[in-house]
Structure 1
Amino acid sequence: MGHDIYGLNKAREEIAYARFSMGNHNALLLYRLLDAYQFYAGVSGSGKSSVFSLQQVEKAMKGYKKFFKTAAPSESDCTSWDQKQIFLFIQNCLETAQKEKSVEVYFG
């Protein structure tokens, strides 16, 4: 059990991935940044997906920057693995949404 969260482009190709064990509270942070609590099912995601607009993903990135008080973790930064994977997940979704106007996120 755990949270496997995938970002998918319009061709349904994986463009982002985040993995959290079932007891990792940082999974909730990603759900919160995406405003996607309805897909949180306790020890895993709900098994459902949703399409997020460019504006929603931009809001998630803005929330990330506000929460962590940084634009992006640097390579030399001693930030947590989860902070980096949350950033990369949102960043990859944002890049896709900028090209395609939206991105699908699957919460497994």
Structure 2
Amino acid sequence: MGHDILGFNKAGEEIAYARFSMGNYNATILYRLLNAEKYYAGVSGSGGSTTLSVQHVQKALNDYNDFFADTKPLSEREILYWDKKQIGEFLINCLETAQNDGSVEVYFG
């Protein structure tokens, strides 16, 4: 079990991926940033998906930057750093796709 969160473009191609183990509560950071808490099912995602607009993903990325503005250097918080990195990359990839396609589809497994 775990959280596999994937982003897809209009052609159905995977453009973003974030993976969290079932015990990794940092998964909730990504759910909250995407305003997608209803897809959080505890040890994994619910299996649902949603379509996000450019504005929605841009807000998530802005909120990400605000949330992580005061984090410690990676040597002090290595696990959080790894999740910070994958969340940031996920959001950037989703934003680029949303800007190109008008929206991005996100699946929560």
Moved over 4 A (4+): none
Calculate the TM-score normalised by the size of structure 1: 0.91
Q: Does 1:26 align with 2:26?
A: yes
Q: Does 1:90 align with 2:86?
A: no
Equivalents in 2 of 1:7, 1:24: separation in Å?
20
* Residues 54-76 of structure 1, C-alpha deviations (whole Å, 9 max, x = no match): 11000100100100118xxxxxx
Equivalents in 2 of 1:58, 1:83: separation in Å?
17
Percent sequence identity over aligned pairs: 65
RMSD between aligned alpha carbons? 1.2
Cα distance, 1:36 vs structure 2: 0.2
Q: Report the equivalent of 2:47.
A: 47
Equivalents in 2 of 1:12, 1:26: separation in Å?
27
- Aligned to 1:7, the other structure's residue is in SS state strand
Equivalents in 1 of 2:101, 2:68: separation in Å?
27
Cα distance, 1:101 vs structure 2: 1.1
Identify unmatched segments of 5+ residues in structure 1.
71-76
